Amino acid sequence: MTLLRDFLTNVLNPKVALFFLAFLPQFIAIDAPAKSVAILVLGMIVVFNGTLWNFSVAFTASRMSQRFERSASIRKWLTRATGALFL
């Protein structure tokens, strides 16, 4: 149920549709025979690049987290930095 709700939230978000409708047409030639296919392909490229970026951020964060957990000194400094941030 949660997956369906999340999917519908993203699909029905008008901001995403407005972004694609405002941003992507400038990269399509006026005399292109299949404009809708071109917008679909460009949208898929954006989704693919976004997915690659999110995977790389998640992978990097996971590796950094593992490294921070192993080092007591790094944990201590992170705790201090977090405390200073909240002050």
Q: Flag whether the pTM goes above 0.85.
A: no
pLDDT at 53: 96
Does residue 73 lie in a domain region?
yes
The alpha carbon of 83 is separated from its chain's Cα centroid by a whole number of angstroms, namely 29
**How far is it, in rounded angstroms, from Cα 77 to Cα 8?**
42
Does residue 10 lie in a domain region?
yes
> For the chain, how many residues are written?
87
Mean pLDDT of 39-64: 93
* Cα end-to-end distance, the chain, whole Å: 40
- Show the tokens assigned to 52: 């690659």
Does residue 68 lie in a domain region?
yes
Residues 45, 28 contacting (CB under 8 angstroms) = no
* Counted domains in the chain: 1
Q: How confident is the prediction for the chain on average, in pLDDT?
A: 89
Does residue 55 lie in a domain region?
no
pLDDT at 84: 95
For residue 9, the enclosing domain spans: 2-49+60-86
Residues 50, 64 contacting (CB under 8 angstroms) = no
